[in-house]
Amino acid sequence: MYNTPKLSVVGAGPGDPELITIKALNTLKDAKVVLFDALINRELLEYAPQAEHIFVGKRKDKHRYSQDEINELIVKYALERGHVVRLKGGDPFIFGRGSEEINYAKSKGLETAVVSGITSSIAVPANVGIPLTQRGTSESFWVITGTTTQKKLSEDVRLAAQSTATVVILMGMAKLPEIVDIFSYYGKQNTPVGIIQNGTTTNEKSGFGTIKSIEKVVAEKQLTAPAIIVIGEVVRESGKLKSVMQNAIEESVIINSPIGG
């Protein structure tokens, strides 16, 4: 039976394999080939046992395939096999280049579909108790890439630092010193910060502090990419930050007391 060449760009969610939509799972079950990224949970591939699984992930300075090569693979396998699923972490239309792949596939005559995913920019903070908006605290939030195509920190970070909004920065760990400098320049040294590595997975790690202290926290907890940086007063809603702040107060009391020396 002839299989119509088709591309489905599917969001895999933030990491927890249960945080994927029913529509995404049904799409995987119909796939003949799955091209998957580095940040997806490999357990999800079990929902496509009949498909060929091909890793095309891109991590910092380690690209198995260029984007142009991935585009060509999509078309090649769709023409040869039929339904290709491009499985991406989070939501494919938030810094996932999903629209580029859809547009390329359309230009080559393929049918296309998009299955939205739960974005890590919202789900990961929520998993540690951080609401991105909070009545009386934050009326909006920014989601910004930490590294642009020119390998520079987005200029939007400087604009966001001047607002009262919650700021969520993806792919920003390598730029953390620059981020700290920008927020400090605008007098935000005491603004709470939460950093969550491998959010919603069994390997999740997190660190909490302020703009003034967060680099020290990252070093002490050995936090690295992939991680999400959340900056704003809403970070205080996390019980983890409250614990950190209480410990800091207690340590200060002991150090400054007559008994403490």
Q: What is the pLDDT of residues 28-56, one digit of tens each?
A: 999 999 999 999 999 999 999 999 999 99
Same domain, 143 and 183: yes
Distances (CA, A) of 195 to 62, 71, 159, 249: 23, 33, 20, 21
Q: What is the pLDDT of residues 188-206, one digit of tens each?
A: 999 999 999 999 999 999 9
Distances (CA, A) of 156 to 142, 153, 191: 9, 8, 18
Higher model confidence: residue 248 or residue 106?
106
| Domains in the chain, number | 2
Same domain, 98 and 137: no
- The CATH code of the domain that includes 38 is 3.40.1010.10
What is the CA angle 168-206-237, rounded to 5? 65
**Mean per-residue pLDDT of the chain:** 91
- The CATH code of the domain that includes 163 is 3.30.950.10
Question: Looking at residue 151, what is its pLDDT?
Answer: 87
- Domain residues for the domain of 29 are 6-115
Q: Hey, which residues are catalytic here? A: 37, 58, 171
Please, which pLDDT band fits residue 245 given cuts at 50, 70 and 90?
low
The SS3 call for residue 217 is: helix
Phi-psi region of 33 (alpha: psi -120 to 50; beta: other; left: phi over 0): beta
Same domain, 124 and 203: yes
Distance CA(57)–CA(40), nearest Å, equals 9
Same domain, 69 and 124: no
Same domain, 126 and 206: yes
Question: Looking at residue 246, what is its pLDDT?
Answer: 56
Please, which pLDDT band fits residue 252 given cuts at 50, 70 and 90?
very low
Query: 1 in a domain, yes or no?
Result: no
Query: 89 in a domain, yes or no?
Result: yes
Same domain, 98 and 63: yes
Higher model confidence: residue 22 or residue 260?
22
